[in-house]
Structure 1
Amino acid sequence: MTEPSSNVRVRGIYATALTRTLLDAGHTVVQASPPIQRRFDADLPAADHDAAVETGPDRQGVNVAGDPDAVDAIRELLVDTGIDTLAWDDPAPVGAVFDGRVTETLGSGAVVTLGETTGYLPFRAVDGRVDEGDTVRVQVTEAAAPWDDDRPLLDTGLAVEAGLATLVHGGEGVRVAGRDDAAGRELAGLTDLLSTAPPAGWGLEWAHDARDAEMATLEDALDRASQRATALEAAVDDAGDPEPVRAVASPTAGAWIWFGRESRFALDERRREVTATMPGHHRTKAGTTAASAGVDFVEALCADGLGEEFPFDVVADQFGPTRGRRSASATGSRRATGSSSARPK
């Protein structure tokens, strides 16, 4: 049985290889960056997206987020990248609402158990004070990878995203992400001409890429966001008072894909089908921001003579790993679990 195709937005260091993979599988890649548009002889419209694929922490893999059916199809596609590709369903995807219990308070926020995982609620996102044992209704605003030490970031407000349109409960008017420019102001003005409008009590924020979208695409995005907002508001109302620990609603789904050594070499091959790619491209770009910039420089400068072997000694000398050097993932963050090992699922 053929999987239904989806509109997918792709960003990050794996964008070229994954764009090739998604197009070959019958999906449509939308809102492509200028470099991707130049590399592909394909229709890459500025349409709304069903799912977004973005590079995860430490560039070790990608996050897939969006409509549940689209996320499932993309997860199944990408898990076949290589023998050492690993995949997880996200127990706390962006947009999910939980009734949780505060288990610990830290310097600037609280740890909240959500059931399968825990999240981090900054005190700035709370009206008043929360203490250990308190019950809170929270929404996930930033997901956390299973191979990273961070917890999902939480908020006590409500918002829903549907591709190019995000609705914020309690917000007012229309905002456009990105700098205040003529295109953004024009988009804000055009919103009044659309045949649909946000539900009462919800403010609208357009994504930066909405500047290039057609009116029909904007209407579709706003209509989907409005439907999700109405459904989310109804689910929260039906749930009544917070009652931990339970999931209240999840308008979207999420998945995490981790690429091992062989998988990154396989992605190198996919990228090489499209454009000049040095051996070890993705392994090197995953190292540091400086390494990523260096790869771009080398490929732009030496496109016709990159060789066929991965220059491991040169890459290791320049960008690591080196003995005694601590990896970025080991340092943790203010949302970290306090352990250098991955969070158990």
Structure 2
Amino acid sequence: MSYKIKIRGIFSTALTHLLLKNDFIITQSSEIIKERFDTQFSESEPDVIIEDGNDKKNLFVFGKKEGISKLLEIIRENFPNSIIRKSQMGKDTIIKGRVLKSIENKNITIFDLGNSQGILEGQTLRNNSNYLVKIDFPDIGRRKAILNSNITLTGLHAVLIYNNPNKISQRITNDNSRKNLYNLARKIKPKNWGILWRTSASEAFEENPDILIEEIDRLQEKSDEIIKNYNNYPAPKILLEGTPIVNIEFPADTRERIDNIRKEIKTTQTLKNHHYYKICSFELGEVIKFSEHVTFNNNSLIEILEQEMERYFGNLYPKLNTMVRITHAKVDGRVFQLTPGNLIEFDLDKKYMKIHRKILGSKKRYYDGLNLTKEEGDYAINSFQLGSWYMKTEYFNRKGDIKGEYWNVSSPIEFFPHPYQIYYLDLEIDLVKLPDGEIVILDEDKLEKAYEEGYISLALKNKSYQLIQEIKTKL
């Protein structure tokens, strides 16, 4: 079966090319995509939608479960080092949740949702009580889903809103249309639900009011089923499945493969590091766009422009003693900012950086894997080889004596200029070298769990083990 897919964002050209070859029907494409491909595009409603994530290193996919599954097969096959994060429950899932606890000073309530938990902000509710809640944003990149107590059921022309009055879209400005829709809503409003007429309801009413009546009947059947199950089942209980959401992150090596797929398209130019520059900043994205326009059908200029882009980007690296952030991402989507540090060594040609970071001492805080207390005056030296799949952190006391080494296996290490930051995605397994020379491998169970839960592929899991052996050989 062929699925219809709508693609937006910086990967849209490459993914359109890839998915057309894999029998997807591309729908509602942008004008620039239509210009680049000699094919007939659909304008019908998509089964699956792809959009950029917040930082553009990743993207969000939502839509029909079967279509998403087919897409993920293609992603895994073509990009085995990509990170795939599936939500426990889809957006707009409606649940009978049970209150675990309220935190008054934060004005939030924690709900038990079954296999996961959710946070309802702005309300503190009684422990062990049950409430109807909806998932606003799933548990991707966070421990708990974000909930909403404003329950809605959406149709083509109308939205049912739990415990709300009837409303009409502000875009409907004709007084007669608004009056007709208000009168109709009063007659057919389901108990405990309000009707919000969407903009299209005005034309639908003019065509035939039965169109709207039949839609409300369908939504009411759904609402009746929700209330019936709410009354009949103990919490927690899913009452209505929402829209599945998946987040996909493309590490640096994977984006190079996506660059190469884009290069197969003969109607547009793709220079080296195309998607990397697009992610770095809007300004760099515009520079690469202009450079590709200039070099299109002019191969003699490609090498010159690529060298100029690298020279230009080289000027964006920080100077010595500049503060650099370190962004440590996890496979589940959580992101941590390590204590920033000063750049004390940098080789532009070798893309090698050393960063000095101060460590806050505390008798209650320990170095992971080293079983040593963090003491006043301790500091760390982080060594980053950009593009490498691992990094080394050396810990020292105030006298400069080494306390131990920590090697972290990760996605290829990257630098981003706005603001200055090192970025990598932790692949869970690590290695430490103790002061007496003993080498200990850490967190193999976390790597296995990342594979079992579908975040990483078998190929990436095996590569992580190979990298650990490579580090051991170095030591």
TM above 0.5, yes or no, is yes
Which residue does 1:213 correspond to in 2? none
- Whether contact under 8 Å (1:91, 1:117) holds in the other structure is yes
Task: After superposition, give the CA deviation of every residue in 1:97-147 in whole Å (9 maximum; x if it has no partner).
Answer: 223334453635444343343333231xx6xx43565543221123353xx
Change (3 A) 1:258 1:229: farther
The one of the two structures with greater contact order (alpha-carbon pairs below 8 A, sep at least 6) is 1
Change (3 A) 1:264 1:174: farther
Query: Which of 44, 49, 52 is matched with 2:49 structurally?
Result: 52
Query: Which of 15, 18, 21 is matched with 1:21 structurally?
Result: 18
The yes-or-no answer on 1:278 pairing with 2:271 is yes
Which residue does 1:287 correspond to in 2? 280
- Whether contact under 8 Å (1:121, 1:155) holds in the other structure is yes
- The 1-side partners of 2:281 and 2:217 are apart by 40
Which residue does 1:167 correspond to in 2? 159
- The 2-side partners of 1:315 and 1:224 are apart by 56
Query: Which of 61, 66, 86 is matched with 2:63 structurally?
Result: 66
* Greater strand fraction, Structure 1 or Structure 2: 2
Give the letter for the 2:250 counterpart.
F
What is the DSSP-based 3-state SS (H/G/I as helix, E as strand, rest coil) of the residue aligned with 2:324? coil
1:84 offset after TM fit, Å?
A: 0.7
Change (3 A) 1:253 1:161: farther
Query: Which of 136, 139, 160 is matched with 1:141 structurally?
Result: 136
- The 1-side partners of 2:132 and 2:285 are apart by 40
Which residue does 1:299 correspond to in 2? 292
1:241 offset after TM fit, Å?
A: 7.1
Give the letter for the 2:261 counterpart.
R
Change (3 A) 1:240 1:232: same
1:287 offset after TM fit, Å?
A: 3.0
Change (3 A) 1:330 1:231: same
Q: TM-score, normalization: structure 2?
A: 0.52
Query: Which of 264, 281, 295 is matched with 2:255 structurally?
Result: 264
Query: Which of 151, 157, 169 is matched with 2:150 structurally?
Result: 157
Give the letter for the 1:143 counterpart.
P
Change (3 A) 1:323 1:267: farther
Give the letter for the 1:50 counterpart.
D
1:286 offset after TM fit, Å?
A: 2.5
Task: After superposition, give the CA deviation of every residue in 1:161-210 in whole Å (9 maximum; x if it has no partner).
Answer: 68x7773435756649xxx6xxx989xx8xx9xxxx99965435479xxx
Equivalent positions of 1:117-266 (< 5 A) are: 117-123=116-122, 129-130=124-125, 134-145=129-140, 148-149=141-142, 151-160=144-153, 167-170=159-162, 172=166, 175=169, 201-205=194-198, 230-231=221-222, 233-240=224-231, 243-266=234-257
Q: TM-score, normalization: structure 1?
A: 0.68
1:250 offset after TM fit, Å?
A: 0.9
- Whether contact under 8 Å (1:199, 1:226) holds in the other structure is no
- Whether contact under 8 Å (1:31, 1:44) holds in the other structure is yes
- The 1-side partners of 2:310 and 2:133 are apart by 46
- The 2-side partners of 1:22 and 1:226 are apart by 38
Change (3 A) 1:277 1:136: farther
What is the DSSP-based 3-state SS (H/G/I as helix, E as strand, rest coil) of the residue aligned with 2:33? helix
Give the letter for the 2:55 counterpart.
D
Change (3 A) 1:238 1:136: closer
Give the letter for the 2:225 counterpart.
A
- Whether contact under 8 Å (1:84, 1:261) holds in the other structure is no
Aligned length, in residue pairs: 299
- The 1-side partners of 2:311 and 2:215 are apart by 51
Give the letter for the 1:115 counterpart.
G
1:230 offset after TM fit, Å?
A: 4.2
- Whether contact under 8 Å (2:90, 2:242) holds in the other structure is no
- Whether contact under 8 Å (1:277, 1:306) holds in the other structure is no
Give the letter for the 1:266 counterpart.
R
Change (3 A) 1:133 1:85: same
- Whether contact under 8 Å (2:137, 2:146) holds in the other structure is yes
What is the DSSP-based 3-state SS (H/G/I as helix, E as strand, rest coil) of the residue aligned with 1:76? helix
The alignment yields a C-alpha RMSD, in angstroms, of: 4.3
- The 1-side partners of 2:295 and 2:314 are apart by 20
- The 2-side partners of 1:224 and 1:89 are apart by 32
- The 1-side partners of 2:217 and 2:314 are apart by 50
Which residue does 1:115 correspond to in 2? 114
Give the letter for the 1:234 counterpart.
E
What is the DSSP-based 3-state SS (H/G/I as helix, E as strand, rest coil) of the residue aligned with 1:256? strand
Give the letter for the 2:273 counterpart.
G
1:7 offset after TM fit, Å?
A: 1.4
- Whether contact under 8 Å (2:96, 2:230) holds in the other structure is no
Change (3 A) 1:285 1:107: farther
- The 2-side partners of 1:266 and 1:255 are apart by 21
Which residue does 1:318 correspond to in 2? 316
Which residue does 2:86 correspond to in 1? 89
Percent identity between matched residues is 17
Task: After superposition, give the CA deviation of every residue in 1:221-250 in whole Å (9 maximum; x if it has no partner).
Answer: xx9998677446513432327843343321
Change (3 A) 1:309 1:141: same
- Whether contact under 8 Å (1:86, 1:258) holds in the other structure is yes
Which residue does 2:3 correspond to in 1? 6
